[in-house]
Amino acid sequence: MSTTQNPPRQMMFQLSLRRRGISDQAVLRAMEEIPRDMFVEAADRAHAYRDSALGIACGQTISQPFVVAYMTEQLQLQQNHRVLEIGTGSGYQAAILSRLCGHVLTIERYRTLADRARARLAELGCDNVEVTLGDGFDVPADAGNFDRIIVTAAMEQIPDALAQRLKPGGVLIAPVGPHQGTQTLVRLVRTDAGFERKQLVDVRFVPALPGIAREL
């Protein structure tokens, strides 16, 4: 189970997000409600509420809280939205999304991460999240289209096949750039005329790789 946040740590966690420009009250509330210490490795629990990325199993990371909050805020979620997440990781981002939308389908290429995330999300009662072992570059056709798509690993470019899974008016957020280096968060909005693309902030994510991992 989660360790209990003491009030000063909880207050500083929220204050840090507000100081960095997170203003959506629903996002801030979700960040407060979801215990980040449940999603980090046991050795890192004392550092769970620092604004930094931390390592998890399979050589992956849990993103720093500001990046999670920022990407979530940029999605402009509504309670009826259906969301696709590429890269489940620890499950933390999916847990935040679950408080703000109707349904989350999250795809993870590492079985260990998918299984652990599924267990954590069930423990938290995130019943509107479906964790699937799969290839984020090859989303099953029967999964349908989505109001929002969030990619939590670096893509050298956004595949057109993924962008096409957005419903009209849909929004996609992804870190785009070289795998070894700095990427830029890109926000795509599907319009009647095509896609509006906006570059947001520089970030660093682990690479998004095709296929299902053979091990782990």
Evaluated on CA atoms 143, 144, 147, 153, the torsion sign reads positive
Two tokens, residue 30: 């979700």
Where do we find the tokens 């990407």? Answer: 71
Dihedral, 163, 164, 169, 171 alpha carbons, nearest 10: -20
Catalytic residue among 2, 16, 23, 63: 63
For residues 148 and 77, the answer to whether their CB atoms sit within 8 Å is: yes
| Helical (H) or strand (E) element with 113 | helix 111-123
Sheet of 183-191, strand order:
129-133, 103-108, 82-86, 146-151, 166-176, 183-191, 194-203
For residues 167 and 147, the answer to whether their CB atoms sit within 8 Å is: yes
Please report how the helices 7-19 and 65-75 are oriented relative to each other, as an axis angle in degrees rounded to 10: 60
| Known active-site residue 16 | no
For residues 110 and 44, the answer to whether their CB atoms sit within 8 Å is: no
Catalytic residue set: 63
